[in-house]
Copies of this chain bind each other. A is one copy, B any other.
Amino acid sequence: MSANSDDGRRRIKSVDKAFLIIQALREQGNAGAGVTTVADAVGMSKGSAHTYLNTLKQHGVVTEQNGRYRLGLQLLELGEYAKRQNLVYQCAQDPVDEIATRTGELARLVVKEQGYGVYLYKAEGDNAIETTIQPGQREYLHCTSQGKAILAHLSESEVREIVDERGLPARTEDTITDIDELLDELEEIRERGVAFSRSESTRGMRCVASPVHAPDGSVVAAIGVCGPMSRLQGDRFTEEIPDIVRNAANIVEINIQMNRNS
């Protein structure tokens, strides 16, 4: 009877369907899709799919050229806006730039959202590596140093909840895929104040990350450094860079607090 689905709360089914269509279009990629293809993909009649696509088109989140529908750039405008509004994004840019220049490596900002990490900003030092993952993309929390830094400061029940929902897929042979092993690792990270990643998300890549806390004490993000194993080793990896990263994370936290009161 009731229009609910997940956790007993009511939902607007038409909105769900709209996002189902957006998802379907996304999976079609650059090729785009026609009305019939979309209708089949989401399991509705041609007529209905047509009405949805037209509505979405009016809002610019879908574009159409001679019968082929694709994702529209209005999404980018909204997304960029959301990014710029983000307080952590505003407060972390300078410290991340600083990390990049001081280490010469790639420095990144990842914020927590819905059990994922969203890669929001990067700064490239003189020797910065190129990564395949692009700003704006989500990544799993268990396989990156940034993600683990965030997980380490959540409660065990929150961690288990995220793992139950997202799983622990293996990115490389070194990815932690066991929940108990992960919890042990998080314990260490908490004591140390920085998280390491040794080829856990990409072979040959090492990272160091430190969490960023909101004024209320909850973790909201992590900043860190990524580089090749060849350069990130010894004291530089275990001492120098952790110090730089920890310090920068601290500055971000101060920036957030100051921005709060203004």
Contact = CB atoms under 8 A, between A and B. Distances in A.
B76 A83 contact: yes
Nearest to A63: B113
Contacts of A76: 79-80, 82-83, 118, 120, 136
A15 B73 contact: no
A70 B81 CA distance: 11
Given A52-B12, A55-B16, A60-B114, A81 B71 contact: yes
A84 interface: yes
A113 B92 CA distance: 32
Contacts of A84: 134
A238 interface: no
A147 to B, nearest CB: 15
Contacts of A19: 59, 61
A58 interface: yes
A244 B212 CA distance: 46
A51 B11 contact: yes
A130 to B, nearest CB: 14
A78 B79 CA distance: 8
A21 B167 CA distance: 32
A118 B14 CA distance: 28
A56 B118 contact: no
Interface stretch (A22-30, A169-177, A225-233): A22-30
Contacts of A15: 14-15, 18, 52, 55-56, 59
A138 interface: yes
A15 to B, nearest CB: 5
A244 B220 CA distance: 46
B85 A11 contact: no
Contacts of A192: none
A118 B15 CA distance: 26
Given A12-B18, A15-B15, 5 more contacts: A11-B58, A75-B75, A76-B118, A76-B136, A80-B136
- Closest CB pairs A-B (n = 6): A76-B79, A80-B136, A79-B79, A14-B14, A75-B79, A71-B82
28 contacts: A9-B54, A10-B51, A10-B54, A11-B51, A11-B54, A12-B18, A12-B52, A15-B55, A15-B56, A16-B55, A16-B59, A19-B59, A29-B85, A30-B87, A60-B113, A60-B114, A61-B78, A70-B85, A71-B82, A71-B85, A72-B113, A73-B113, A73-B118, A73-B120, A73-B136, A77-B136, A79-B79, A80-B136
